[in-house]
């Protein structure tokens, strides 16, 4: 891997500009020049996830939503997975994690959810993400309650040098942003393997983002992380509003990983609900569950009754003064 001649940041294959300082990369000529071949992916017509074609599976249906896929040819260079993280949660543990999660839900869910629901499908999957190590000069501005009266706000601003180590930025289109954000913290990102775990019915979602858009997503993720960091000790005071950050990268290194998870569907009554169980930490379960209408109505009626009784009590006390 070569380095930028101006800022010495890493340059990756097919880069046209440096990701840090935007210097044009000199064109490679002669025998060393390699033209990137057009990439073909199978695109789901329902959720737009990109799937790798497998002759063994002969899979033409999307593993996320079951919709038909179509072949799409992409001219620009795509990101490619460099390493896979191993599964440490097997199918039995994923089933147990689902039941534990169902039992832990609030009182407003059906009481028999764990016992009456039936698992419809359980599929192992790999979803793509960037592992980012970066450093940036971050300028921030915000209003806070520091240095002002109890009810007033005061403006503050500053510049801080921040490092982002092991930041996971999701690139899946089969998982939602909330699902990726919920899964990301539980991965042992240094436990890389050179090939995916060989599991039956494995879904291996491909990177389907061009290099330029990928860099935009990574930069946006760094800015979001910077906004969270500056509120944890850099902005004076305890309460903030109008927090804004702008950053200039001084270094950036990315690795492309495929991360393990279990995609599950369970049926309760006449409805089917989706749940994603972490592939390395069974305590992380993200999904949907039904509400219990009788419990909700009972709570509303109880609250209205309590309000009415309190009002009656106040009226009676007022009459006897």
- Higher pLDDT: 71 or 30? It is 71
Q: Residue 294's pLDDT band (boundaries 50, 70, 90)? A: very high
Q: Where are the alpha helices (DSSP H) in the chain?
A: 91-104, 113-116, 177-183, 211-230, 293-319
- DSSP annotation string for 99-127: HHHHHHS-TTS-TTHHHH-EEEEEEEEEE
- Is the pLDDT at 94 greater than 70? The verdict is yes
- Distance of alpha carbon 198 from alpha carbon 39, whole angstroms: 24
pLDDT score of 122? 95
The closest of 13, 5, 7, 6 to 254, measured between CA atoms, is 13
pLDDT score of 29? 43
User: In the structure encoding, which two tokens stand for residue 89, read together?
Assistant: 């949660």
Q: Residue 80's pLDDT band (boundaries 50, 70, 90)? A: confident
- Distance of alpha carbon 289 from alpha carbon 276, whole angstroms: 12
Residues 124/220/167/159 CA torsion (nearest 10 deg): -170
pLDDT score of 62? 67
- Higher pLDDT: 24 or 87? It is 87
150 contacts: CB under 8 Å, gap ≥ 6: none
User: In the structure encoding, which two tokens stand for residue 222, read together?
Assistant: 């760094």
- Distance of alpha carbon 124 from alpha carbon 48, whole angstroms: 19
Strand-strand pairing, 285-287 and 203-204 = unpaired
- pLDDT tens digits, residue range 249-258? 888 888 899 9
Residues 19/133, Cβ–Cβ less than 8 Å: no
- Is the pLDDT at 278 greater than 50? The verdict is yes
Number of H helices and E strands in the chain, helices first, is 5, 10
pLDDT score of 75? 55
pLDDT score of 56? 47
pLDDT score of 270? 93
pLDDT score of 321? 65
Residue 51, classified by CB atoms within 10 Å of its CB into exposed (0-12), middle (13-18) or buried (19+), is: buried
- pLDDT tens digits, residue range 179-230? 999 999 999 988 888 888 888 888 888 887 766 677 788 888 899 999 999 9
pLDDT score of 34? 40
- Distance of alpha carbon 90 from alpha carbon 317, whole angstroms: 64
Residue 155, classified by CB atoms within 10 Å of its CB into exposed (0-12), middle (13-18) or buried (19+), is: exposed
Residues 252/132, Cβ–Cβ less than 8 Å: yes
- Higher pLDDT: 22 or 38? It is 22
């Amino acid at each position: 891997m070569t380095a930028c001649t101006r800022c010495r940041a890493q340059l990756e294959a097919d880069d046209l500009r440096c990701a840090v300082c935007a210097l044009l990369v000199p064109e490679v000529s002669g025998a060393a020049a390699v033209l990137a071949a057009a990439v073909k992916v199978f695109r789901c017509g329902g959720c737009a996830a990109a799937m790798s074609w497998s002759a063994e599976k002969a899979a033409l249906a999307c593993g996320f939503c079951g919709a038909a896929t179509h072949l799409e040819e992409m001219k620009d260079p795509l990101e490619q997975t460099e390493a896979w993280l191993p599964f440490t949660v097997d199918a039995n543990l994923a089933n147990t994690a689902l039941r534990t999660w169902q039992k832990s839900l609030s009182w407003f869910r059906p009481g028999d959810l764990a016992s009456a629901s039936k698992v419809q499908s359980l599929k192992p999957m790999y979803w793509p993400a960037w592992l980012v190590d970066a450093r940036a000069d971050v300028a921030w501005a915000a209003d806070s309650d520091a240095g002002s009266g109890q009810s007033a706000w005061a403006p503050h601003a500053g510049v801080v040098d921040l490092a982002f180590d092991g930041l996971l930025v999701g690139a899946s289109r089969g998982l939602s942003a909330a699902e990726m954000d919920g899964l990301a913290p539980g991965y042992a990102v240094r436990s890389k393997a050179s090939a995916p775990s060989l599991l039956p019915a494995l879904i291996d979602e491909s990177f389907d983002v061009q290099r330029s858009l990928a860099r935009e997503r990574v930069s946006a993720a760094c800015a979001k992380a910077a906004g969270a960091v500056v509120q944890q000790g850099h902005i004076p005071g305890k309460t903030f509003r109008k927090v804004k950050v702008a950053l200039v990268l001084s270094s950036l290194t990315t690795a492309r990983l495929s991360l393990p998870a279990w995609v599950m569907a369970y049926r309760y009554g006449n409805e089917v609900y989706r749940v994603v169980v972490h592939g390395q930490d069974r305590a992380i379960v993200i999904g949907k569950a039904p509400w219990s209408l009788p419990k909700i109505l009972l709570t509303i009626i109880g609250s209205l009754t309590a309000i009415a009784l309190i009002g009656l009590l106040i009226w009676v006390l007022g009459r006897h003064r």
